């Protein structure tokens, strides 16, 4: 069974690029721009990893990460925060497991994902 990854990014092009690259890497990927009811989306999809855009136009990635890490059923899902506008130390304080600065290469993305999904 393929590992599942849920990507939240307000840029459909970025979400589609990550979905295509990760699908090629043998992952089942769902990309969305919609952060409304995100906790319910996570519970329904049951991902093995989350990739969240830090500067999302709804709740920011760090806010969603804190909600996930505080949730009794979801706290153990690894979270990667990615954005062009971030302070790595501040971002890590939200409880995320990794940070990727945009723009990023596909090799970096695959390394971080594999290190968290297959640890």
Q: Tell me, what's the pLDDT at 88?
A: 62
Q: Tell me, what's the pLDDT at 89?
A: 64
Per-residue DSSP letters for 33-94?
Answer: S--TTHHHHHHHH--SEEEEETT-SSS-HHHHHHHHHHSTTTTTS-EEEEESS--HHHHHTT
Q: Tell me, what's the pLDDT at 83?
A: 82
* pLDDT, tens digit (0-9, with 9 covering 90-100), for 10-69: 999 999 999 999 999 999 999 999 998 999 999 999 999 999 998 878 888 889 999 999
Tell me the three state secondary structure of residue 5: strand
User: What is the C-alpha to C-alpha distance for residues 80 and 83, in angstroms, rounded to an integer?
Assistant: 10
Q: Tell me, what's the pLDDT at 115?
A: 96
Q: Tell me, what's the pLDDT at 60?
A: 87
User: What is the C-alpha to C-alpha distance for residues 94 and 28, in angstroms, rounded to an integer?
Assistant: 26
Q: Tell me, what's the pLDDT at 90?
A: 66
Q: Which domains does the chain have, with CATH numbers?
A: 3-117 (3.40.50.2300)
* pLDDT, tens digit (0-9, with 9 covering 90-100), for 62-111: 899 999 999 999 999 999 999 887 666 666 678 899 999 888 899 999 99
CB-based burial of residue 11 (10 Å sphere; 0-12 exposed, 13-18 middle, 19+ buried)? middle
User: What is the C-alpha to C-alpha distance for residues 16 and 9, in angstroms, rounded to an integer?
Assistant: 9
This prediction's pTM: 0.93
Q: What is the biggest distance separating any 2 CA atoms in the chain, rounded to whole angstroms? A: 36
User: CA angle at residue 45 from 91 to 104, to 5 degrees?
Assistant: 40
Angle separating helix axes 12-24 and 106-117, nearest 10 degrees: 60
């Amino acid at each position: 069974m393929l590992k599942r990854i849920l990507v939240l990014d307000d840029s459909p092009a970025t979400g589609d690029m990550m979905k295509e690259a990760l699908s090629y890497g043998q992952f089942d990927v769902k990309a969305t721009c919609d952060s409304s009811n995100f906790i319910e989306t996570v519970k329904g999809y049951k991902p093995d990893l989350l990739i969240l855009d830090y500067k999302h136009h709804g709740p920011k990635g760090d806010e969603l990460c804190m909600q996930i890490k505080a949730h009794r059923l979801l706290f153990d899902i690894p979270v990667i925060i990615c954005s062009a506008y971030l302070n790595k130390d501040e971002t890590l304080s939200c409880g995320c497991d990794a940070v990727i600065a945009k723009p990023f290469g596909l090799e970096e993305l695959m390394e971080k994902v594999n290190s968290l999904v297959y640890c």
